[in-house]
Amino acid sequence: MSGNFAGLIEAVARRRPEHPALRWDGGAMTYGELAAAAHDFAARVRARGLGAGHRLAITLTNRPELAIAVLGGLAAGTTVAPLDPLLKTEERDDILADLAPALVVESDVAGQPREHATGAAARGTPAALVLYTSGSTGRPKGAVLSHAALAFANHSWAGPVIGLRDDDVVLAALPLSHAFGLNGALLAPLLAGVTVRLVERFVPDAVAEVLARDGVTVLPGVATMFHRLLELPDFKGAPRLRLGVSGAAPCPWELAQAWRARTGVRIVRGYGSTELFRPLSYLAADATDYPDCVGRPVPGVEIRVVDDDGHAVAAGEDGELLIRTPAVMDGYLGNAAETAAVLAGGWYSTGDLARLTPDGYVAIVGRKRERIKRGGYSVFPAEVETVLLAHPAVSEAAVVGVPDATLGEEVAAFVALRSGATPDELVAWCRERLAAFKYPRRITVLPTLPRSATGKVLKAQLR
């Protein structure tokens, strides 16, 4: 199939057949072995009469069988949909009903992969992937991505963004069912011909041991992962580690600085979503970072920052961030209305409010769709969350709008604490640092905030 992403990995296997592609606890697989296993999987899929337009769901943890199924499913021409194995039964059933896969690859009761044909005969437009959004602000949607989008995104990541080297070892401790893990920790490293060290589950002390023992050089992770590693009193990094890379959720500047101070290693920050992988980023080669910025457009990506009427705003002014990139999704599966709401003329409306610096870096200042309208004033949760996280007792914070009969909406905050503080004390802290219309009147203390597998706070569960 011309232009199939799996063909790019097959080309790598021909170039580096004996180089380790995957390593995991107790095993390893060369590029030649991975290509052969993917070829066998694709043959089994075709033997079932499946091909272009059929959908293949994969519900596996970070193990070699997942990589084989993804590459083999792509090679067979099917549209591959990796699903989080930690989904609850109801969540999984909802997604499978939306996806209508012809084949499901999942673990049996003994934890071994098995292939289960569903009998679904429906075919859609051929595509590479369907990746489901985290559902952090509502019901998950399936973002449909082409082979061309997949190739552009991963060439960009492996090349100008991270600059992967032939001897790199990339840790895959992120869930590979999500965009950041699948692309940044698996597909891009394989495209570059480097080694992926698979870890089924992120456990801080075990990951610290793998980093040191197995020569990991690049660590993609969410902010929570970097934070948990820093909580290990003896953790100082790893001998070969040269880069951390954050994604999926914002990485606070303070965390990036603390990580660098402890390990001597930079965290490359960036911005992206399920719908378009990493269009904005710092580059590994960049000499400096700006505390409030997530990076700038990677090569081949265009951006605009616009007002509510769609007119470009000047540098330093706030507006909605629009992005045009070859890596953008084709649309949401079976949802023309949602697609039309975010895609027009090749431009993707992120729903994020941004501000451009004069030299082209981008600061994300809030979510347009999360804007709280309190008594006619606009309050952006990110600003309030930043103030709360500056309090020494607060480890996590999320701010949402809740209905109010008088004001329309009221500002409400939810926090998790690392040490003692009362809601009244936190309200006073915010009142001293924010305008009267911005500070939260209601603060609820929780043991921990609900998060998706990629670390995003599930604000829909807090409202």
Give 57-82 pLDDT, tens digit per residue. Answer: 999 999 999 999 999 999 999 999 99
- Give the DSSP H/E element, type plus range, for residue 55: strand 55-59
My answer on whether 24 and 124 are in the same domain is yes
My answer on whether 387 and 362 are in the same domain is no
pLDDT digits (tens, 9 = 90+) for 344-393: 999 999 988 899 999 999 998 877 777 787 877 778 888 899 899 999 99
User: Could you tell me the residue range of the domain that residue 56 belongs to?
Assistant: 5-201
Is residue 77 domain-resident?
A: yes
Nearest partner of 446 among 397, 401, 399, 382, judged by Cα: 397
My answer on whether 349 and 375 are in the same domain is no
- Distant-in-sequence, close-in-space partners of 374: CB < 8 Å, separation ≥ 6: 401, 404, 407, 408, 409, 410, 411, 437, 438
My answer on whether 184 and 102 are in the same domain is yes
pLDDT digits (tens, 9 = 90+) for 292-313: 899 999 999 999 999 988 999 9
55: β partners? 79
pLDDT digits (tens, 9 = 90+) for 316-337: 998 999 999 999 999 999 999 9
Residue whose structure tokens are 């050089």? 217
Distance in angstroms (rounded) separating the CA atoms of residues 337 and 323 = 19
At 365 the pLDDT is 84
Is residue 236 domain-resident?
A: no
Is residue 186 domain-resident?
A: yes
- Residue bearing the bigger pLDDT, 183 or 89: 183
Mean pLDDT, the chain, integer: 91
Yes or no: say if 62 and 86 are a contact pair by the CB < 8 Å rule. no
Is residue 241 domain-resident?
A: no
Is residue 336 domain-resident?
A: yes
- Whole-angstrom CA distances from 164 to 85, 97, 159, 185, 203 are 29, 38, 6, 12, 25
My answer on whether 382 and 309 are in the same domain is no
Is residue 292 domain-resident?
A: yes
My answer on whether 170 and 283 are in the same domain is no
| CATH number of domain containing 56 | 3.40.50.980
Domain boundary among 367, 397, 426: 367
Tell me what the mean pLDDT of segment 116-131 comes to: 81
Q: Is the pTM of this model over 0.85?
A: no
The two tokens of residue 237 are 């990094």
My answer on whether 195 and 325 are in the same domain is no
- Give the DSSP H/E element, type plus range, for residue 196: strand 195-198
- Whole-angstrom CA distances from 90 to 86, 96, 97, 245, 381 are 11, 10, 11, 33, 30
My answer on whether 378 and 345 are in the same domain is no
| CATH number of domain containing 387 | 3.30.300.30
- Residue bearing the bigger pLDDT, 404 or 299: 299
My answer on whether 139 and 120 are in the same domain is yes
Identify the three-state secondary structure at position 84. coil
Tell me what the mean pLDDT of segment 136-155 comes to: 87
- Residue bearing the bigger pLDDT, 114 or 219: 219
My answer on whether 186 and 289 are in the same domain is no
At 82 the pLDDT is 97
pLDDT digits (tens, 9 = 90+) for 192-211: 999 999 999 999 999 999 99
Yes or no: say if 259 and 224 are a contact pair by the CB < 8 Å rule. no
My answer on whether 418 and 363 are in the same domain is no
At 122 the pLDDT is 65
My answer on whether 357 and 422 are in the same domain is no
CA-based R_g, the chain, Å: 22
State yes or no: pLDDT of 121 exceeds 70. no
Tell me what the mean pLDDT of segment 402-407 comes to: 82
- Structurally, how many domains does the chain consist of? 3
Helix 31-47 vs helix 64-75: crossing angle, to nearest 10: 60
**Percent of the chain predicted with pLDDT > 70:** 96
Is residue 144 domain-resident?
A: yes
Is residue 433 domain-resident?
A: yes
